[in-house]
Structure 1
Amino acid sequence: MAQLQLLPPHDEAHTAGATSEALRQEVTAHCGDDATAWAVQTSAGLCPDGQDALPELVALSVAYRLHRGTGLPASVIAEAESLVRTQVERGCDLAHGLGLIRSAHGRIASAVLAACARIEDPDERTAAMTGTASLVFDAVDELSRVVSDRFAAERERWLAGPAAEQRAVVLSLVRGESVDVERAARKLCYDLRQNHVALVMWAERGSGAQELQKTATRLLNRLGCRSTLLVPMGGDGLWAWGLRPNGDAEELAPLLAADPAVQVAVGLPGAGLAGFRTSHEQAMAAAQLGLRSATNARVHTYRELELGALLARDEQAAADFVCRELGGLGDDSPSAGALRATLKCYLDHDRSVATVAQRLHIAKNTVLYRIKRAEQVRGRPLGDNRLQLHTALYLAETFGVSRPAVQPDVAPAVRTA
């Protein structure tokens, strides 16, 4: 529809989508890149806890209806059903979901009508406003009916299943509520008195809960766990624990080779009920850090990320620290990245040029050049605040040098209980 041409992206900065990539690609195929980017950016930030998938789905539905003038495609319906399932399993009620839809409707309608108001011809402007307002309402109304109908079915299914009771017990344990440990252990069929290691796992939407559980079992078996506890968190997330671990988390990465959509965070082993809770908290912290990480790692261990967890509790302060200490080295460019990597390796290995050359597969003269150039770009001698410099390089390597940004919506497994 012509009105859609009035809705270019209002912000050239990249905003990560909250819905599935497959859905966004389908909308792009039907409506174009601008329409999808507009939908993602217009709906971003509506939910205070960053769970923007449902508002984004509203915006994508509107973009599709404006462009195609027809009912919602099967992919939108399927995505809505998946989101409802996740909302139900998180304990949200229907009012919460419909409230998000209403908030999204208000913002989207305002954005559409504001774009129409820029049409110079009065008759065309009136026709555009009338036509788009009707189409926006139809899209939101259809999506609201899908959500309402599916919510009732999913709620009934969830309340009737044993998973709900198991999840309630686990939530009480990780929240530190007063519980009868023996009774909880019987309900979970899991010994809470032993040593535990906790995993937090998530996958791209639609990957399948059963496949995620199979992967979790393989990972815990590799860690040598004699018994496991698997708790689905939404359709695409999982909390897991294993008893008496004796393996190394570094051995887990090869097991994910066949599951490119899956990521896992691993806590440190802990004893008893306190260890059950602490290992899970560590896995959650590692998961959240992994989502912010500048690397492409799919296994995030608290052991490796603990320093980052401690240093970056105040994300904005950490970003300011990196910017201040690195100076020009903090630029988000390939050349600055190469200088940072070389300098960090140099400091990691006690300023051994030979070791840096060997590890980075570059000539010694290249190492010397980059170190000298890094000092020039930073604008200060390397010996000036060396500890702070090394720390800033670590943070830049772990989280990147861009300013903190809104993260895409992920499986509820990665959100606090």
Structure 2
Amino acid sequence: MEIPPSGEGSAAADVVGRLVDNLDEVTARTQRVLMEEVADLGGDAQLVQLLRDNVAANIDTVLSAIRHGIPVGHVEAPTAALEYARRLAQRDVSANALVRAYRIGHQAVLKILLEEIRASDLDPQRRLDVFDEILAVTFRYIDWITQQVLGVYQDEYDRWQQSRNRLQAAEIRGVLESDDDVDVDAVSTTLRYPLRATHVGLVLWCDASGDQDELSAMERYVHECAASVGARERALFVSADRLTAWAWLPVRSENITLAPIPEDSTLHVVAGRALPGVAGFRRSHRQAQLARRVMLAAGSPGDRPVSAAEPGLMLAGLAGTDLDEARAWVAAVLGPLATASPGDERLRETLRVFLRAGSSFKAAAGELHLHFNSVKYRVQRAAERRGRPITDDRLDVEVALLLCHWFGPAILTE
């Protein structure tokens, strides 16, 4: 919609003409409002100056359209407006802040225009008509320009994220793969993550599920975990591939509980122990990777986060690097007790808990929620199934039971 060059249009042209003559003042007033109302627009001097150029360019463009009766569809988006959108995308300022800036800026400029209309010598009806015409054009312009800048913002955001993710992934791999000292402060600045903190390394992966955005789901979960454990600063997240991601949480305590995995999710999560500094950053990640190998080898990653701190998991991971040899060893140690039948599984689990409880029937009964005599019977039955007492090679039996617990059918005989 454009303003005709006569009638109300001439009056509107006179009104906006006076504002064009005072563009610097109009720009300054509008920018002050934006800085007060949209906190995300604050930043360094360069970004603030670009905001000013953006405001001035948009005001000049829309006022020129009103003065000269130019259809909004024939207007070209100001270069400063497009560049400002790109810069916000690069700074991780949300698209919502960009849209709010245009809406609030529109309101601020309309208020200034209304002051000029009231100060004119037009009769009341003409003032209403002029304001109505100006309102229509400015709304049309705001609708059009926000579409333009949002398109530019999204393209730049996608490009920038891909580029930054590649650089971030390379930096992270450099830290993980090097045994040398790193410039902790410089790398922390690059990654925007505190390497001096205590870290919990996570490895996350999803089952392929069609068109779903698995990486976004994993990143949301990581941020939920960071909030739930009271992370000191922002978590670090990087994609390893389309279905796998690595993350680190900067935690305040070694004793944390990860957020539950959402129901109906294909997400799987393993975590290393909470460990300090660059060495902890590396080691916690290696522990999570080792735990993941156990989960994948077992064929049942489960629907809960699994931690390297869980008893026996790291030992199972180390002992299970050669699964065929481990399977043969388990069969030799446990004998017939190493079969995959449900009955033998119950006997093995009872014996494992009994041995871990210091051979206490009472403690094992409490942990398993069984009667004392039931535990005693199962332990005796497990020894009978094995075919020999457990006292002579108790350590071997405990390790074999741990491997059975974590690897399940993958390490058992038929």
Q: Does the CA contact (< 8 Å) of 2:271 and 2:306 recur in 1?
A: yes
1:390 maps to which of 380, 398, 402? 398
Q: Quote the residue 1:189 is aligned against.
A: 192
Q: Within 1, Cα distance between the matches of 2:361 and 2:172?
A: 51
**Aligned partners of 2:409 and 2:303: how far apart in 1?**
17
| Distance (Å, rounded) in 1 between the aligned partners of 2:317 and 2:243 | 25
Task: Answer 1 or 2: higher relative contact order, Cα 8 Å, separation at least 6.
Answer: 1
Matching of residue 223 in structure 1 with residue 225 in structure 2: no
Distance 1:203 1:263 in 2: 6
The reply to whether residue 334 of structure 1 matches residue 342 of structure 2 is: yes
Change (3 A) 1:383 1:160: closer
Superposition deviation, residue 180 in structure 1: 4.8
Q: Secondary structure at the match of 1:359?
A: helix
1:172 maps to amino acid = G
Name the residue aligned to 1:153.
none
Instruction: Please state how far the C-alpha of 1:237 moved relative to its aligned partner.
Output: 1.9
Q: Report what 1:212 is aligned to.
A: 218
Partner SS state of residue 161, structure 1: helix
Confirm whether residue 173 of structure 1 aligns to residue 179 of structure 2.
no
Aligned residue type for 2:338: G
Call closer, same or farther: CA 1:258–1:397 in 2, change over 3 Å.
same
- Quote the sequence identity (%): 31
Identify unmatched segments of 5+ residues in structure 2: 1-157
- 2:282 corresponds to 1:280: no
Deviations 1:185-224 (A, max 9, x none): 3221223233322111111224421121010011122222
Deviation at 1:396, TM superposition (A): 0.8
Which of 315, 324, 333 is the matching residue for 2:323? 315
In the alignment, which residue of structure 1 is the partner of 2:163?
Answer: 161
Residues 51-107 of structure 1: CA deviation (Å, up to 9, x unaligned): xxxxxxxxxxxxxxxxxxxxxxxxxxxxxxxxxxxxxxxxxxxxxxxxxxxxxxxxx
Give the alignment partner of residue 234 of structure 1, picking from 225, 241, 257.
Answer: 241
Q: Is the 8 A contact 1:332 1:402 kept in 2?
A: no
| RMSD of aligned Cα (Å) | 2.8
Shift of 1:401: 4.5
TM-score, normalised with respect to structure 2: 0.54
SS in structure 2 of the partner of residue 198 of structure 1: strand
Q: Which residue of 2 aligns with 1:127?
A: none
**What SS does the corresponding residue of 1:255 show, helix, strand or coil?**
coil
Are residues 190 and 401 of structure 1, via their aligned partners in 2, closer, same or farther at CA, if it must alter by over 3 Å? same
Q: What is the DSSP-based 3-state SS (H/G/I as helix, E as strand, rest coil) of the residue aligned with 1:200?
A: strand
Q: Is contact 2:202-2:248 (8 Å) kept?
A: yes
Partner Cα distance (2:379, 2:249) in 1 = 45
Deviation of 1:229 (Å): 1.2
Contact 2:261 2:303 in 1 (8 A): no
CA shift in 2, pair 1:361/1:193, >3 Å: closer
**How big is the shift at 1:330?**
0.3
**For residues 12-411 of structure 1, what are the structure 2 equivalents within 5 Å?**
161-176=163-178, 180-206=183-209, 207-208=212-213, 209-227=215-233, 228-246=235-253, 248-249=255-256, 251-252=257-258, 255-258=260-263, 260-293=265-298, 296=302, 298-304=304-310, 305-403=313-411
**Deviation string for 1:113-151 (max 9, x for gaps)?**
xxxxxxxxxxxxxxxxxxxxxxxxxxxxxxxxxxxxxxx
Closer/same/farther in 2, CA of residues 326 and 313 from structure 1, 3 Å limit: same
**Structure 2 CA distance, aligned partners of 1:295 and 1:390?**
23
Displacement after TM superposition at 1:378 (Å): 0.7
- Give the SS at the match of 1:256: coil
**Rounded Cα–Cα distance in structure 2 between residues aligned with 1:262 and 1:295:** 9
**1:392 alignment partner AA:** A
Q: Greater shift after overlay, 334-343 or 258-267?
A: 258-267
Return the alpha-carbon distance in structure 2 between the equivalents of residues 328 and 276 of structure 1.
42
Q: TM-score, normalising length from structure 1?
A: 0.54
- What is the CA–CA distance in structure 2 between the aligned matches of 1:181 and 1:245, rounded to whole Å? 19
What is the distance in 1 between the residues matched to 2:193 and 2:275? 15
Instruction: Give the number of aligned pairs.
Output: 248
Change in CA separation of 1:195 and 1:328 when aligned onto 2, cut-off 3 Å: same
Q: How far has the Cα of 1:380 moved from its partner?
A: 0.5
Q: For the pair shown, which has the larger CA radius of gyration, 1 or 2? A: 2
Contact 1:354–1:364 (Cα < 8 Å) also in 2? yes
Change in 2 beyond 3 A, CA 1:273/1:357: closer
SS at the partner of 1:383?
coil
Which consecutive residues of structure 1, in runs of 5 or more, have no partner in the other structure?
A: 1-155, 406-417
Distance 1:297 1:290, change over 3 A: farther
